[in-house]
Chain A
Amino acid sequence: MFPDFLTDIYSDYTIRNITLGAMVLGLVSGSLGTFAVLRRQSLLGDSISHAVLPGIILAFMLTGSRDPLILILGAAIVGWLATLSIMAIVNTTRIKQDASLALVLSVFFGFGMVLMTFVQRQPDAAAAGLQRFLFGQAAAIIWDDVRTMLLIGGAAMAVFLLFWKEFKLVVFDRAFAFSLGMPVRRFDVLLTTLLVIAIVIGLQTVGVILMSAMVVAPAAAARQWTDRLGLVTTLAGLFGALAGVTGALISAYAARMPTGPTIVLCLTAIVLFSLVLAPNRGILWAWVRQHRQSRELRSRVVLADLYWLSQQHAGDDSGHSIATLEAMSAGRVAVDHGLEDLEQAGLAERTDEETWTITERGREQAIRDLAEEEREGSDV
């Protein structure tokens, strides 16, 4: 009756958790990532997601607990530290943003690896649970994890919506926000905190290395469909959730499809789809527009030539050969295609196999075109 996976989402414990987790993660990181992408901080997400590794391991070493809440807290604190370090380097040295991001990312991650070797030396297989933060391991997600994600993600979303207006102002009209006396820096900090949260809740599912895609890709895709911030954010959340669910289901049913990478590839597909097909901005529409314009330009050139010929031959409209027209346009345009377009529009007609003439309507159109060109001062 139903496809298997629909019933499984309800009945199969593991699949339900994975799907739900991936959906929450996609929703939260997608919508919270929007501001990061629009603020040109896409790679901050990448840097933070790598840099939280030592936080996760330190939290485990200090507490001995693998409670997702504690690990996420550790990750969030270190993610914060990493962000502060990046800002400090950019603000106090002449090292630019890109190098500070790369430096912090790799040094923190390296430090995390050192800590990891300490943990791995312990006799119990404690490290096994930590390893999954590297690449993510959705299959190991239990209801506790999902609850934690819901809790933290929900809180982050609530704050995000609560200060929506302020965030919007701070990011897109900074000077105005300052002039209103808003605590702009504090909102910056809050926004970055939300980004850190969006990243850390996805680590168990997607892993530190691919988490940045969850932040960047949904917003980049959503941006193509609309110019309105509210819609971009909503769409980004939906795209994230869609990719999360699809990726989780594919990896649950196909053998040997790791969840994190599968989700990321679903996201990539959404991005490509949006880049190509989104109305107005999409590559396909831009191409169609350009094609249409060049076609129109071509018929205009041919029409103008026909008009000139008919003027020269003082009403002798027995026809002008294609060769003449081709010579006039100096091979710049495909004359025969242009003539076909003109014929369809009723602006020119065939008088013989190889000869064409302008119609009365074509004459009127040509005169209008010339007048317009004159007005625009163009010399086409």
Chain B
Amino acid sequence: MFDLSTAQMEIQLVAIVVAVACALVGVFLVLRQMAMMSDAITHSILPGIVVAFFIVQDLSSPFLIIGAAATGVLTVSLVELLERTRLVREDAAIGIVFPALFSIGVILIARFARGIHLDLDVVLLGEIAFVPFNRTEIFGIDLGPTALVMMSVILLINLIFILLFYKELKLATFDTGLAAALGFSPALIHYGLMSLVSVTAVGAFDAVGAILVVALIVGPPAIAYLLTDQLRLMLVYSAGIGVVVAVLGYWMARMLDASIAGSMASMVGIIFVVAYLLAPQRGLVASYLRRRRQRWEFAGIMLAIHLFNHEGLPSAEQENRVEHLQDHLNWNPDFADRAVRWAERNRIIVRRNSHLFLTEEGREQAREAIVR
């Protein structure tokens, strides 16, 4: 099974390149809270593809990409146009524009594209398994699958755009006002980014289908967002997660003999759930543990302050007995017992014949807590 044929290698390579290209632009979509725009664009590029296909009659022509990218930008402009009338809100505008464009695409296919190789299923669901059959040659030299060549170019464009405009993108993403004040045009960055998303979506749809593109654009950045606070790291992590999704998704599909695109999307879900539960700082488990630790830390400090207040006084004899904590700190016996044991373990107190005494460190902590 792990004896890789060239075709398998190529499919995985395409998947990896697609995933990384999507993840890179996706980071900015997620951060700019425009993730649903990817959904809109991936659907509404359909009529662009169809019309361009009617003109050039070739599914792998670069004109298809240009046509579809133009439709993508058109979608963004239409949404903004609708929004600017202030008659509908952004979410509703998106919800109106892309189904309309998608419908036009479907009807065009149904009416004029019968019997030619432009299948709705392929557009929506993609068929990455066919990728190796469609190859690009220049002067008789096989450059590899067309999808691989095309996506590599798109990945390169994305990389160059992000590296070149990193500062501008960062500023426009996190502080639009400042970016505008400094003379960067937020609109230019916005449309630049949207064009990239469109181009990436078009390049990728052929291999993985419109809906998986959404998973690849939004999934890895969302997962990376759970793992880091730094834009630079988020880009790197997203790309890395994209690679993992591509490879694991492919093998999952092989083992289950299921749709590759679907498996990759499912893999995004699985990795997201893992990150959601286990992310070092923001994961569910980590924050549960942190809350629990804080609870005992707080209890320990309370105990230390209590003992400190009575230390050296006649009342200490009475006050610093374990049983007394129930009355004084309003702790139930079980909690008091566990808090005392936690404090003992952390060397805040020591216990001598059911009396509690502060250690030097405990005294220090109590003193600090009071001052604070």
Which A residues fall within an 8 A CB radius of B? 37, 40-43, 45-46, 50, 89, 92-103, 105-114, 116-118, 121, 134-135, 209-210, 212-213, 215-217, 219-220, 223-224, 255-258, 260-262, 264-265, 268, 271, 275, 281, 283
Q: Once the chains are docked, how many angstroms separate the CA of A213 from the CA of B100? A: 8
Which B residues lie within 8 Å of A283 (CB)?
85, 87
B235 at the A interface (CB under 8 A): no
Q: Once the chains are docked, how many angstroms separate the CA of A281 from the CA of B215? A: 38
16 interchain pairs (CB within 8 A)? A37-B95, A41-B91, A46-B36, A98-B33, A99-B35, A110-B212, A117-B262, A212-B95, A213-B95, A216-B95, A223-B88, A255-B111, A256-B111, A261-B106, A261-B110, A271-B96
With contact pairs A110-B215, A209-B102, A217-B96 given, residues A102 and B259 touching in the complex (Cβ less than 8 Å):
no
The answer to whether A210 and B99 touch across the interface, beta carbons within 8 angstroms, is yes
Partner of A213, one of B33, B99, B272: B99
B345 at the A interface (CB under 8 A): no
Q: How does the 8 Å CB contact mask read for B41-55 relative to A, with 1 for contact and 0 for none?
A: 001000000000000
The answer to whether B114 and A256 touch across the interface, beta carbons within 8 angstroms, is yes
Residue of A nearest to B88 (CB): A220
Which B residues lie within 8 Å of A258 (CB)?
106-107, 110
B250 at the A interface (CB under 8 A): no
Which B residues lie within 8 Å of A98 (CB)?
30, 33-36
Partner of A42, one of B95, B212, B253, B258: B95
Residue of B nearest to A109 (CB): B211
The answer to whether A210 and B103 touch across the interface, beta carbons within 8 angstroms, is yes
The answer to whether B226 and A93 touch across the interface, beta carbons within 8 angstroms, is yes
Partner of B125, one of A43, A113, A219, A256: A113
Which A residues lie within 8 Å of B319 (CB)?
none
B200 at the A interface (CB under 8 A): no
Q: How does the 8 Å CB contact mask read for B165-188 relative to A, with 1 for contact and 0 for none?
A: 000000000000000000000000
Q: Once the chains are docked, how many angstroms separate the CA of A108 from the CA of B30? A: 19
B233 at the A interface (CB under 8 A): no
Q: Write the nearest CB–CB distance from B215 to chain A, whole angstroms.
A: 4
B3 at the A interface (CB under 8 A): no
Secondary structure class of chain A's binding surface, majority of residues: helix
B269 at the A interface (CB under 8 A): yes
Secondary structure class of chain B's binding surface, majority of residues: helix
Q: How does the 8 Å CB contact mask read for B275-289 relative to A, with 1 for contact and 0 for none?
A: 010000010100000
Residue of A nearest to B120 (CB): A135
User: Which of B8-16, B217-225, B327-335 faces chain A?
Assistant: B217-225
Partner of A114, one of B102, B225, B266: B266
Q: How does the 8 Å CB contact mask read for B75-109 relative to A, with 1 for contact and 0 for none?
A: 00000001001011101101110011011101100
Instruction: Give the number of residues in B that approach A within 8 Å (Cβ atoms).
Output: 60
The answer to whether A50 and B96 touch across the interface, beta carbons within 8 angstroms, is no
Q: Once the chains are docked, how many angstroms separate the CA of A268 from the CA of B104? A: 11
Residue of B nearest to A216 (CB): B95
Q: Once the chains are docked, how many angstroms separate the CA of A206 from the CA of B143? A: 42
Which B residues lie within 8 Å of A102 (CB)?
35-36, 38-39, 214, 217-218
Interface centre among B89, B263, B265 (most CB of A within 10 A): B265
Q: Known pairs A96-B33, A102-B218, A107-B268. 19 more at Cβ < 8 A?
A: A93-B226, A102-B38, A103-B222, A105-B211, A106-B268, A107-B265, A109-B211, A110-B262, A113-B262, A114-B258, A114-B266, A117-B259, A121-B257, A217-B99, A223-B87, A260-B106, A261-B104, A262-B103, A268-B96
Q: Write the nearest CB–CB distance from B281 to chain A, whole angstroms.
A: 11
B1 at the A interface (CB under 8 A): no
Q: Once the chains are docked, how many angstroms separate the CA of A271 from the CA of B85? A: 13
B122 at the A interface (CB under 8 A): no
Q: Once the chains are docked, how many angstroms separate the CA of A224 from the CA of B96? A: 14
The answer to whether A110 and B103 touch across the interface, beta carbons within 8 angstroms, is no
Q: Once the chains are docked, how many angstroms separate the CA of A240 from the CA of B106? A: 20
Q: Once the chains are docked, how many angstroms separate the CA of A112 from the CA of B256? A: 14
Q: Once the chains are docked, how many angstroms separate the CA of A209 from the CA of B261? A: 17
Q: Once the chains are docked, how many angstroms separate the CA of A94 from the CA of B82? A: 29
Which A residues lie within 8 Å of B33 (CB)?
96-99
Residue of B nearest to A101 (CB): B36
Partner of A275, one of B85, B91, B94, B253: B85
Which B residues lie within 8 Å of A43 (CB)?
36, 39, 91, 94-95
The answer to whether A113 and B259 touch across the interface, beta carbons within 8 angstroms, is yes
The answer to whether A107 and B269 touch across the interface, beta carbons within 8 angstroms, is yes
Q: Once the chains are docked, how many angstroms separate the CA of A96 from the CA of B100? A: 26
B124 at the A interface (CB under 8 A): yes
The answer to whether B282 and A94 touch across the interface, beta carbons within 8 angstroms, is yes
The answer to whether A110 and B268 touch across the interface, beta carbons within 8 angstroms, is yes
Which B residues lie within 8 Å of A110 (CB)?
211-212, 215, 261-266, 268-269
Q: Write the nearest CB–CB distance from B251 to chain A, whole angstroms.
A: 13
The answer to whether A134 and B35 touch across the interface, beta carbons within 8 angstroms, is no
The answer to whether B266 and A107 touch across the interface, beta carbons within 8 angstroms, is yes
Which A residues lie within 8 Å of B259 (CB)?
113-114, 116-117
The answer to whether B43 and A114 touch across the interface, beta carbons within 8 angstroms, is no
Which B residues lie within 8 Å of A134 (CB)?
121, 124
The answer to whether B100 and A106 touch across the interface, beta carbons within 8 angstroms, is no
Which A residues lie within 8 Å of B284 (CB)?
92
The answer to whether B265 and A106 touch across the interface, beta carbons within 8 angstroms, is yes
The answer to whether B276 and A37 touch across the interface, beta carbons within 8 angstroms, is no
Residue of A nearest to B217 (CB): A102
The answer to whether A257 and B39 touch across the interface, beta carbons within 8 angstroms, is no
Which A residues lie within 8 Å of B94 (CB)?
42-43
Q: Write the nearest CB–CB distance from B235 to chain A, whole angstroms.
A: 16
Which B residues lie within 8 Å of A281 (CB)?
87
The answer to whether B258 and A118 touch across the interface, beta carbons within 8 angstroms, is yes
Q: Once the chains are docked, how many angstroms separate the CA of A93 from the CA of B35? A: 16
With contact pairs A102-B36, A118-B258 given, residues A93 and B282 touching in the complex (Cβ less than 8 Å):
yes
Q: Once the chains are docked, how many angstroms separate the CA of A261 from the CA of B101? A: 9
Residue of A nearest to B283 (CB): A93
Which B residues lie within 8 Å of A260 (CB)?
103, 106
Q: Write the nearest CB–CB distance from A31 to chain B, whole angstroms.
A: 16
The answer to whether B262 and A261 touch across the interface, beta carbons within 8 angstroms, is no
Interface centre among A102, A105, A121, A261 (most CB of B within 10 A): A102
Q: Once the chains are docked, how many angstroms separate the CA of A93 from the CA of B283? A: 8
